[in-house]
C-alpha cells in the first residue's frame, strides 16, 4: 500500500534507525496547543526512520532567525516506544528569540535541522530502581512525561510518584494523559500542585508550593525513592534543599536544567591576543577546512580562544552538554571535561567538544 510522507507504511520492513551521529532534517507534521503558552510540535524524519533515544534525552535545533544562526536544546517529550515520530513541547519565554519563533512561525510542512539526541537524564540510563519520585515544575515536565510514557507503553510495574507543579490549573501540562496512564499503571501515583487557583476551574489538587510537609504527604517514603527533578532553577534548588534537610542520599538524586550556567571566563580569555601575538600563546590551533588558525592560551577552551580571535564556531551551551560544537580533531591532544554532550564512541572516533576542551599540544580541527 502506498503511504504519504507522514503516514508510515506499517506493512513495510522496519525503517532505518535514527543515526544520532548525523545531523537530521525533521519536518513538522503537527502543532498542538497544550496550554495558553505551551505548544507541542510533532516532527517526522524526511524518509522512513525509527527514532531510537532514551526517554528524557534532548535534541538541539539549529535555526536561522533574522539572518542569525541560533541553537537551542529541546527535550523529546515523545517516547521511543512510538518510534515513527518525535515531539518537542515548548513554553514561550517572554522575549526569548527561539521559543517565540517556534510558537509564531513553525507550522506543519516546515523543516528544521536537528542534532542529537543527547543527554543522560533518563531513568533508562541507570539500573532500574524499585521506586521513583518524578518532580516536575512547569515545562520541566517534558523529560519526565517522556519517561512515564515509555514506562507505560512497556507495561512497567515501576512504582512511580509523579508530581507536577504549575503556576495555576490552566498551566498544568498533560493532566488528562497522566490520569489515563495512571489508570493503566497501578503503581503510578499522581499529584498536581498549583501555586494559585484558576477561577472557574474544577481543579481539586494541592494548592501552594512543594515543601517538606507536602512532600511527606504526597510521598511519605520519598527517602527510599530515586528522585528525578526538572523545572525552573528555584524549584530545583528548593527540592535539593528539602531533600538535603531530610537526610536524603543525594547520590540517588538527578536533575536536568533548561538553562546553562554561564561558564567561567578564565582571565586569559578576556585578554586573548590577536593571532599574530604569539608571546603568551600556549598552543596553535588550525581549522583545516577553512585554513584559519589561532592561538589558545593556557586555561582557555578551544571555543573561548576561537571567539577571542574573532572566529565563530557553532556553540550553544558552552558547557559540554548540548553537543552543538562537536568537531573532529585530526591531530594533537586535548583535555576534555564534558557533561554528557558526547558519546564514548564519538570520542574514540576523534570527536571533541571545543567548548570544554583545553589543548595539551598544537591541535588541528576539521572545520
Ligand atoms: C537540555 C535542555 C532541554 C530543554 N528542554 C526544553 C523543553 O523541553 N521545553 C522548553 O520549553 N524549553 C526547553 N529548554 C529550554 C530551551 O532550550 C530554550 O532555552 C527556551 O525555549 C527559551 O529559548 P529562547 O531562545 O526563546 O530564550 P533564551 O534566550 O534561551 O532564554 C531566555 C531566558 O529564559 C530562560 N528559560 C529557558 N527556558 C525556560 C523555560 N522553559 N521556562 C522559563 N524560563 C526559561 C533561560 O534560562 C534564559 O534566562 C531546554 C534547555 C536545555 C538546556
Ligand atoms: S556548545 Fe554545547 S557542548 Fe559545546
**Greater model confidence, 24 or 87:** 87
The pLDDT assigned to 352 comes to 97
Q: Look up the CATH number of the domain holding residue 84.
A: 2.40.30.10
**Which atom of ligand 1 is found nearest the CA of 38?**
11
In this prediction, residues 36-61 reach a mean pLDDT of 93
CB neighbours (10 Å) of residue 308? 22
The pLDDT assigned to 362 comes to 96
150 and 251 share a domain? yes
In this prediction, residues 323-346 reach a mean pLDDT of 88
Among protein residues, the one with the nearest Cα to ligand 1's atom 25 is 98
Ligand 2 in reach of 318 Cβ (< 6 A):
yes
- The residue behind cell 517572554 is 94
Of 93, 105, 234, 340, the one to substitute when testing ligand 1's pocket (max ligand atoms within 8 A of C-beta) is: 93
C-alpha distances (whole Å) from 158 to each of 201, 221, 242, 308 are 32, 15, 24, 50
Q: Look up the CATH number of the domain holding residue 344.
A: 3.10.20.30
**Which atom of ligand 2 is found nearest the CA of 354?**
4
Mean of per-residue pLDDT scores for the chain: 89
54's CB contacts (< 8 A; 6+ apart) are 80, 117, 119, 120, 122, 124, 125
Q: Say what the pTM is.
A: 0.84
Q: In this structure, is residue 246 part of a structural domain?
A: yes
Looking at the CA of 41, which ligand is closest? 1
Q: How far is residue 292's CA from residue 274's CA, in Å, rounded to a whole number?
A: 13
Q: Which domain holds residue 233?
A: 131-256
The pLDDT assigned to 164 comes to 98
Q: In this structure, is residue 11 part of a structural domain?
A: no
Joined together, the cell numbers standing for residue 333 give 591532544
The pLDDT assigned to 16 comes to 80
167 and 212 share a domain? yes
Overall domain count for the chain:
3
Looking at the CA of 142, which ligand is closest? 1
Q: In this structure, is residue 1 part of a structural domain?
A: no
Ligand 2 in reach of 306 Cβ (< 6 A):
no
Confidence tier at 274 by pLDDT (50, 70, 90): very low
Of 58, 313, 343, 355, the one to substitute when testing ligand 2's pocket (max ligand atoms within 8 A of C-beta) is: 355
Ligand 2: distance of its center to the CA of 70 in Å?
13
Amino acid at each position: 500500500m502506498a503511504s504519504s510522507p507522514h503516514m508510515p507504511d506499517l506493512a513495510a520492513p522496519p525503517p532505518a534507525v535514527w543515526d544520532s551521529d548525523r545531523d537530521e532534517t525533521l519536518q513538522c507534521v503537527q502543532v498542538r496547543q497544550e496550554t495558553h503558552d505551551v505548544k507541542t510540535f510533532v516532527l517526522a524524519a524526511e524518509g522512513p526512520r525509527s527514532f531510537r533515544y532514551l526517554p528524557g534525552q534532548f535534541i538541539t535545533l539549529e535555526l536561522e532567525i533574522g539572518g542569525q544562526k541560533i541553537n537551542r536544546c529541546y527535550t523529546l517529550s515523545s517516547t521511543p516506544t512510538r518510534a515513527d515520530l518525535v515531539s518537542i513541547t515548548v513554553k514561550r519565554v517572554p522575549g526569548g528569540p527561539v521559543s517565540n519563533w517556534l510558537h509564531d512561525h513553525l507550522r506543519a510542512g516546515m523543516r528544521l535541522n536537528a542534532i542529537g539526541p543527547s543527554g543522560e537524564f533518563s531513568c533508562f540510563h541507570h539500573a532500574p530502581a524499585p521506586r521513583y519520585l518524578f518532580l516536575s515544575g512547569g515545562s520541566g515536565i517534558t523529560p519526565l512525561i517522556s519517561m512515564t510514557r515509555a514506562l507505560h507503553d512497556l507495561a512497567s510495574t515501576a512504582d512511580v510518584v509523579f508530581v507536577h507543579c504549575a503556576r495555576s490549573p490552566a498551566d498544568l501540562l498533560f493532566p488528562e494523559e497522566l490520569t489515563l496512564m495512571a489508570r493503566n499503571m497501578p503503581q503510578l501515583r499522581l499529584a498536581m500542585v498549583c501555586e494559585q487557583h484558576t477561577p472557574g476551574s474544577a481543579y481539586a489538587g494541592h494548592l501552594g508550593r512543594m515543601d517538606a510537609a507536602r512532600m511527606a504527604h504526597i510521598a511519605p517514603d520519598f527517602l527510599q525513592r530515586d528522585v528525578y527533578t526538572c523545572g525552573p532553577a528555584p524549584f530545583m534548588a528548593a527540592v535539593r534543599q528539602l531533600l538535603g534537610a531530610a537526610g536524603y542520599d543525594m547520590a540517588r538524586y538527578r536533575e536536568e536544567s533548561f538553562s546553562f550556567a554561564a561558564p567561567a571566563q578564565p582571565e586569559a580569555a578576556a585578554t586573548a591576543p590577536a593571532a599574530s601575538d604569539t608571546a603568551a600563546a600556549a598552543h596553535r590551533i588550525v581549522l583545516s577546512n577553512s585554513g584559519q588558525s589561532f592561538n589558545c592560551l593556557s586555561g582557555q577552551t578551544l571555543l573561548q580562544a576561537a571567539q577571542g580571535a574573532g572566529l565563530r564556531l557553532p556553540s550553544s551551551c558552552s558547557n559540554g552538554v548540548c553537543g552543538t560544537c562537536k568537531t573532529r580533531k585530526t591531530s594533537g591532544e586535548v583535555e576534555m571535561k564534558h557533561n554528557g554532550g558526547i558519546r564514548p564512541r564519538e570520542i574514540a572516533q576523534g570527536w571533541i567538544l571545543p567548548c570544554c576542551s583545553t589543548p595539551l599540544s598544537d591541535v588541528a580541527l576539521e572545520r
